[in-house]
Amino acid sequence: MEERWRAAPGWEFAYEVSDTGRVRSIERTVRTGIGHPRRVPSKERKLIQNAYGDVSVMLSAGERRKMVLVRRLVALAFLPPPQHPDQLEVTNIDRNGANNHWKNLRWASHSEVRLRQTPE
C-alpha cells in the first residue's frame, strides 16, 4: 500500500505527515530578515527518539518553534476524532513509541496512558 501524506494539523502551511509517521516540510517561499524572498525546498525532517522510546520532531515557522510528538501529528491527521472528551492523548497500541503507523495508534485518556507506561 502506498504511503499517504496529509497536512500536519496546526502546521498546514509548512509541514506534512505521513500515515507511517514520517514528517516533511513543504516547499515554500519565505521572506528573509531583510525582506527578500527565499525558496525553502521540501525536506524530510529528522525524528528524535527520547529515552522512553517516543519519537518527536522539531517544527518551526517564523518565530514559532515546537517539539511535537509524531504520534500526535499522525493521529490528528489520520484517525477519527476521539469518542470521549477525556480522550485527549494518543498511545501506541503495541507500546512501541517508535511505531507511529496510524493503525498502531489510538486515542486514550491520561489515566489510560499512565497505566500503559508502568513496567510489566
Structural domains of the chain sorted by starting position, each given as residue range(s) with its CATH number in brackets: 5-117 (3.90.75.20)
HSE value, Cβ hemisphere, 13 Å, CA-based, for 98: 7
Tell me the pLDDT band of 36, cut-offs 50, 70 and 90: very high
Least confident of 69-73, 79-83, 112-116: 112-116
Rounded to two decimals, what is the model's pTM? 0.85
The per-residue pLDDT for 114 is 65
C-alpha distances (whole Å) from 114 to each of 13, 53, 103, 108 are 33, 15, 21, 10
Tell me the pLDDT band of 120, cut-offs 50, 70 and 90: very low
**112 or 16, higher pLDDT:** 16
Q: Is 56 helix (H, G, I), strand (E, B) or coil?
A: strand
The per-residue pLDDT for 115 is 61
Percent of the chain with pLDDT over 90: 70
Nearest Cα residue to 69 out of 96, 47, 51: 47
Cell numbers standing for residue 78: 489520520
The per-residue pLDDT for 66 is 96
Residue whose entry in the numeric block shows the C-alpha cell 500526535: 72
Given a cut of 90, whether residue 116 has pLDDT beyond it is no
